[in-house]
């Protein structure tokens, strides 16, 4: 059989039943689902589409072209995992998912993609005419890369992990900026294909980003400080009539914490430059002031 699987082909309609047309290329028959077509076909008409082998091992042509094709790269979503084979990804075929072989995945299986993760892949066809997903090489990411501007500093970004190394994690943001996460800037090693919420902690001269998965300092200030911060944010004038000189009983009554806890929380917020205080009380530092 001439190599056609994975390619966009033209086939001639030779037969039909209630649900499918049957079209041939050099004597090889492919089925075409009638539900995909807007118009009816007659014997001898030509149908154009993507050729593949479906889950029932029948040759088929779909007129809904997948974004991932031979020599064409796109993101595909992981739908299933088989530890002895690899991961299945949805490339847009109506009745078939494609496998990315375990040979292309991390040696540590805990770092394999999970359902819902995304992989940038193309297709390849083996000697048995089977379709496989193949991870994009480095040069494809280089072609996609958009240098980031210095104004990205401290911004929140979403990024997809595309390479795992001993030195750290490499990710591509939704805006196609390169990002690197040092092991010190994460609590665990992210999976291949995992979508991350990260923040920019540095912009390099080449436009690549240094990313962190750790919260900002004020996002990890502790429960007591967070409660005070929330009360300040919700007050009409962003002020509370308490400070580190206030009566312990009044502090306990209003905040339900000891004066020691209150002072530690204020100190934490002050170090993060989130508050100021005077004899009248404590004040929220507005974002524009910072």
Which of 114, 136, 158 finishes a domain? 136
The arithmetic mean of pLDDT across residues 59-71, rounded, is: 94
- Three-class SS of the chain: CCCCCCCEEEEEEEEECCCEEEEEECCEEEEEEHHHCCCCCCCCCEEEEEEEECCCCCEEEECCCCCCEECECEEEEEEEEECCCEEEEECCCCCCCEEEEHHHCCCCHHHCCCCCCEEEEEEEECCCCCEEEEECCHHHHHHHCCCCCHHHCCCEEEEEEEEEECCEEEEEECCCCEEEECHHHCCCCCCCCCEEEEEEEEECCCCCEEEECCCCHHHHCCHHHHHHHHHHHHCCCCEECCCCCCCHHHHHHHHCCCHHHHHHHHHHHHHCCCEEECCCCEEECCCCCC
Shared-domain flag, residues 128 and 180: no
* 261 in a structural domain: yes
* 2 in a structural domain: no
Give yes or no for residue 289 having a pLDDT over 60.
Answer: no
* 16 in a structural domain: yes
Give yes or no for residue 54 having a pLDDT over 50.
Answer: yes
pLDDT tens readout for residues 220-269: 667 888 889 888 987 878 999 999 899 999 999 998 889 999 999 998 88
d(CA 200, CA 244): 35
What pTM was estimated for this model as a whole? Answer: 0.73
Categorize the per-residue pLDDT at 2 as very low, low, confident or very high, splitting at 50, 70 and 90: low
pLDDT tens readout for residues 111-169: 999 999 999 999 999 988 899 999 999 999 999 999 999 999 999 999 999 999 999 99
* 52 in a structural domain: yes
Which of 167, 185, 212 finishes a domain? 212
* 280 in a structural domain: yes
d(CA 208, CA 180): 8
Please give the tally of structural domains in the chain. Answer: 4
Centre a 10 Å sphere on the Cβ of residue 19 and count the other Cβ atoms it contains.
10
d(CA 244, CA 261): 10
Shared-domain flag, residues 245 and 265: yes
pLDDT tens readout for residues 184-219: 898 889 999 999 999 999 999 999 999 998 876 656
CATH code of the domain in which 229 resides: 1.10.10.10
CATH code of the domain in which 38 resides: 2.40.50.330
d(CA 116, CA 188): 19
Shared-domain flag, residues 226 and 269: yes
CATH code of the domain in which 120 resides: 2.40.50.140
d(CA 80, CA 58): 22
Torsion over CA of 139, 145, 147 and 151, rounded to 10 degrees?
A: -140
* 51 in a structural domain: yes
The arithmetic mean of pLDDT across residues 21-26, rounded, is: 94
Which of 212, 229, 247 finishes a domain? 212
* 87 in a structural domain: yes
Shared-domain flag, residues 29 and 53: yes
Q: Which domain holds residue 193?
A: 146-212
* 182 in a structural domain: yes
Share of the chain above pLDDT 90, in %: 76
């Amino acid at each position: 059989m001439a190599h056609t699987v994975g390619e966009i082909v033209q086939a001639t309609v030779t037969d039909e039943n209630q649900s499918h047309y049957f079209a041939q290329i050099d004597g090889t028959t492919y089925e075409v689902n009638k539900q995909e077509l807007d118009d009816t076909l007659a014997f001898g008409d030509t149908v154009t589409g993507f050729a593949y082998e479906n889950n029932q091992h029948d040759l088929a042509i779909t007129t809904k072209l997948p974004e991932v094709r031979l020599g064409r790269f796109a993101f595909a979503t992981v739908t299933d995992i088989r530890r002895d084979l690899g991961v299945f990804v949805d490339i847009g075929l109506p009745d078939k998912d494609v496998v990315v072989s375990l040979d292309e995945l991390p040696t540590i299986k805990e770092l394999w993609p999970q359902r819902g993760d995304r992989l940038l892949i193309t297709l390849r066809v083996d000697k048995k005419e089977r379709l496989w997903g193949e991870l994009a090489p480095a040069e494809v990411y280089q072609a996609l890369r958009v240098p980031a501007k210095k104004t990205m500093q401290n911004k929140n970004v979403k990024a997809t992990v595309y390479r795992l190394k001993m030195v750290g994690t490499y990710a591509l943001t939704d805006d196609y900026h390169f990002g690197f996460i040092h092991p010190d800037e994460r609590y665990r090693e992210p999976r291949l294909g995992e979508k991350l919420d990260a923040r920019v902690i540095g912009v390099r001269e080449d436009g690549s980003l240094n990313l962190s998965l750790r919260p900002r300092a004020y996002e990890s200030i502790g429960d007591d400080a967070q409660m005070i911060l929330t009360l300040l944010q919700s007050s009409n004038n962003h002020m509370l009539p308490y400070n580190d000189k206030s009566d312990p009983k009044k502090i306990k009554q209003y905040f339900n914490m000891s004066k020691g806890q209150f002072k530690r929380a204020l100190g934490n917020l002050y170090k993060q430059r989130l508050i100021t205080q005077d004899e009248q009380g404590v004040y929220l530092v507005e974002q524009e002031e910072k």
